[in-house]
Amino acid sequence: MQNMKSPWLLIGLISGSFAVASLILTSWLGLHPCHLCIFQRLLFMLIAVLGLMAALNRDHRPAGGLVLLSAAVGAGAAGYQSWLQTLPAGTLSCVSGEPGLIERLVEWLGQQAPALFLATGFCENEELVILGLSLANWALFAFLACLFAAGALLARRSTASKGESL
């Protein structure tokens, strides 16, 4: 059981590092994060906490399942933002129309803790590109890695439990 804690801890630490890196890059480079950027930052923070909870608990399945769910939602948000960034300028924006649940959540969080959650940009803008990939692209890869890692860990645990009960 001890060997199951390290991967969950690693998922938590890496996700926390992504959240901290987004805060540092925003401040250092004067970036303007959008609603989806802030939502992804929030999800990285959530996955960090859940990963640590999974590492600390004897039964990691509840927190691990929430890591899996959060990573899937994050992959969806980052994938959607990556798609928006491929469209010609002015075609589609994340801030058009009536604000959705994500936008309302981010707006509320931005009022509570502006240093962490204030959205000032547009989802379709690629303000920073690293090695040919936007930050949304990098977030997509990170969320997919968390999703596959959590899925593998949960499947491994499920297989091990079945073997123990025989």
Query: What are 18-48's pLDDT values in tens digits?
Result: 999 999 989 899 888 888 999 999 999 999 9
Q: Structural domains in the chain?
A: 2-165 (1.20.1550.10)
- What local confidence, expressed as pLDDT, does residue 166 receive? 39
**Measured between alpha carbons, how far is 135 from 82 in angstroms, rounded to an integer?**
9
Residue 104 makes CB contacts below 8 A (sequence gap 6+) with none
Amino acid 125: pLDDT: 75
- Residue 128 near residue 31 (C-beta atoms within 8 A): yes
Paired with 129 in beta bridges are: 134
What are the φ and ψ backbone dihedral angles of 148, each rounded to 5 degrees?
A: -70, -40
pTM over 0.95: no
